[in-house]
């Protein structure tokens, strides 16, 4: 297993370009199977989750090609409706294929994505939405078979603004007969990106970014070219890393409007942020100020995907901060690891009470999931001494070559591979 070895205590400095958004690229790649022809997607990050999605597309009969950050998907010959269980188990986002496969082939067979390190992640809202459009859903054990001779527009009210369910329903509805209205939709920027992509293919969707999305079905979708938005969570992670190391960095290719709540919280912690169009400068010279209360919640509130990272910064603050996690119940797995680095954090149900300490100390810690792993890297960068982060494969799901990105910003970080013997 690969590890990241970090010599902490060096302020980050310099400039780095933010790569494309994983959470936008995954549904958009899945949506490619709805057009019979070659689609070019630009700014696709080089991540293991993207590789799994490409493997699934190939298993369904697509031709895919990667040229750097450009990916070509040709779905002309899609004929397979079964998603292999071993690919399904590697990535929860394989459920994004449900809507598009139903729309294209009228049938999809897949498996429950199963448990997850950050808590129970149900798919009931996805299934209920697809059923409302006319899909017949049969479950036996972990296998799910959805069929639909014809999908028909419907009014669907989501009990919770699930990002994935909103996207799956949007994709299933684009070629359904008539109008679909999703009320209580998620408002994340990635949903707007999906709307822009689908409309570029000829769909008729309005409202993404608000809580009501209206989709007027069209008979077919056309191939197109599209550029993915920058990854707001990667940008937010680096902003927090700059603050935690008392650094001064410039991020290029960012969309500040997608980071409003994170910018607000960082400013409350005393971090200086200057914005010029798609360029952002982040600097910090003093110990962070505590932030009385942060509540993670669906966009535009503070994102759960930055919760573990901001906890590292607040662990170093001059006072007590509270973070309440409302999206994923199990998302405090990084706390034990941070405690071993000297942090003073107490968990009570879904809230973390963080008493700032003057410094963290290097330790060997384990990344338990993607964002927890990123948080431990930030902790290692800020800590005194050497930190070893194990289970790096979690981090590779969402940060392209994180060690190169951070070395570019002056960090002392290397990836080590185990020595293999024949």
Q: Which is nearer to ligand UD1, 190 or 396 (CB)?
A: 190
Q: Using the rule CB under 6 A, give the single segment among 58-66, 72-80, 155-163, 312-320 that binds ligand UD1.
A: 155-163
Q: Does 110 engage in binding with ligand UD1 (CB under 6 A)?
A: no
Binder among 31, 103, 123, 271 for ligand UD1 (CB under 6 A): 123
* Nearest position to ligand UD1, beta carbon: 164
Contact 197, 170 (CB under 8 A): no
Smallest gap from residue 235 Cβ to ligand UD1 (A): 14
Within 67-96, the residues that bind ligand UD1 by CB under 6 A are: 93
- Under DSSP, is residue 193 helix (H, G, I), strand (E, B) or coil? helix
Give the list of residues 6+ apart from residue 386 with CB closer than 8 angstroms, or none: 5, 6, 7, 8, 362
Smallest gap from residue 143 Cβ to ligand UD1 (A): 17
Binder among 15, 86, 124, 204 for ligand UD1 (CB under 6 A): 124
Q: What are the distances in angstroms from CA 89 to CA 53, 173, 406? A: 12, 26, 30
For ligand UD1, how many residues bind (rule: CB under 6 A)? 22
Within 238-297, the residues that bind ligand UD1 by CB under 6 A are: none
**How far is it, in rounded angstroms, from Cα 143 to Cα 313?**
42
The most distant pair of C-alpha atoms in the chain lies apart, rounded to whole Å, by 63
Q: How many CB atoms lie within 10 A of CB 359?
A: 15
The answer to whether 32 is a known catalytic residue is no
Q: Does 169 engage in binding with ligand UD1 (CB under 6 A)?
A: no
Q: Does 327 engage in binding with ligand UD1 (CB under 6 A)?
A: yes
Contact 66, 25 (CB under 8 A): no
Binder among 111, 328, 332, 399 for ligand UD1 (CB under 6 A): 328
**How far is it, in rounded angstroms, from Cα 370 to Cα 368?**
7
Contact 23, 398 (CB under 8 A): no
Q: What are the distances in angstroms from CA 64 to CA 71, 186, 252? A: 7, 30, 29
Per annotation, catalytic residue among 32, 62, 116, 255: 116
- Interaction mask 170-209, ligand UD1, x per CB under 6 A: ----------------x---x-------------------
Q: Does 26 engage in binding with ligand UD1 (CB under 6 A)?
A: yes
Q: Using the rule CB under 6 A, give the single segment among 115-123, 135-143, 252-260, 287-295 that binds ligand UD1.
A: 115-123
- Under DSSP, is residue 380 helix (H, G, I), strand (E, B) or coil? helix
Binder among 305, 337, 366, 390 for ligand UD1 (CB under 6 A): 305
Q: Does 368 engage in binding with ligand UD1 (CB under 6 A)?
A: no
**How far is it, in rounded angstroms, from Cα 46 to Cα 69?**
7
- Picking from 128, 161, 164, the residue whose alpha carbon sits closest to that of residue 146 is 128
What residues act catalytically?
116
Q: Which residues bind ligand UD1 (CB under 6 A)?
A: 23, 26, 93, 120-126, 160, 162-165, 186, 190, 303-305, 327-328
């Amino acid at each position: 297993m690969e590890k990241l070895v970090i010599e902490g205590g060096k302020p980050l400095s310099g400039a780095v370009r933010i790569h494309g958004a994983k959470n936008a690229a995954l549904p958009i790649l899945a949506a490619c199977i709805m057009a019979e022809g070659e689609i070019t997607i630009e700014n696709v990050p080089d991540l293991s989750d993207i590789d799994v999605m490409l493997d699934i597309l190939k298993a369904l009969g697509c031709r895919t090609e990667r040229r750097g950050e450009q990916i070509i998907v040709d779905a002309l010959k899609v004929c397979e409706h079964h998603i292999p269980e071993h690919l399904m188990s590697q990535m929860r986002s394989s459920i994004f294929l449900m809507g598009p496969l139903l729309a294209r082939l009228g049938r999809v067979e897949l498996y429950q994505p199963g448990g997850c390190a950050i808590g129970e992640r149900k798919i009931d809202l996805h299934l209920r939405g697809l059923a409302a459009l006319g899909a017949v859903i049969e479950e036996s054990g972990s296998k799910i078979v959805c069929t639909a001779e014809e999908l028909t527009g419907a009014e669907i009210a989501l009990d919770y603004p699930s990002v994935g369910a909103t996207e799956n329903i949007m994709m299933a509805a684009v070629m359904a007969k008539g109008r679909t209205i999703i009320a209580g939709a998620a408002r994340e920027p990635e949903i707007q990106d999906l709307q822009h992509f689908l409309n570029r293919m000829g769909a008729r969707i309005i409202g993404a970014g608000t809580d009501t999305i209206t989709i007027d079905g069209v008979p077919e979708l056309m191939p197109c070219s599209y550029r993915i938005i920058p990854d707001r969570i990667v940008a937010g992670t680096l902003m927090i890393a700059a603050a935690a190391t008392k650094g001064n960095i410039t991020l290029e290719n960012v969309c500040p409007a997608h980071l409003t709540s994170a910018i607000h919280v960082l400013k409350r912690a005393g971090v200086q942020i200057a914005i010029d169009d798609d360029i952002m400068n982040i600097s910090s010279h003093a110990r962070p100020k505590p932030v009385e209360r942060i509540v993670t919640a669906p966009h535009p509130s503070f994102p759960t995907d930055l919760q573990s990272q901001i906890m590292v910064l607040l662990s170093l603050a001059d006072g007590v901060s509270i973070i309440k996690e409302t999206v994923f119940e199990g998302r405090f797995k990084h706390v034990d690891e941070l405690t071993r680095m000297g942090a003073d954090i107490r968990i009570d149900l879904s809230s973390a009470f963080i008493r700032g300490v003057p410094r963290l100390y290097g330790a060997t810690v384990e990344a338990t999931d993607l964002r927890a792993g990123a948080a431990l890297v930030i902790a290692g960068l800020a800590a005194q001494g050497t930190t070893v982060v194990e289970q790096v494969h979690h981090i590779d799901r969402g940060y392209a070559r994180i060690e190169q990105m951070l070395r570019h910003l002056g960090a002392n970080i290397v990836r080590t591979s185990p020595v293999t013997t024949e």
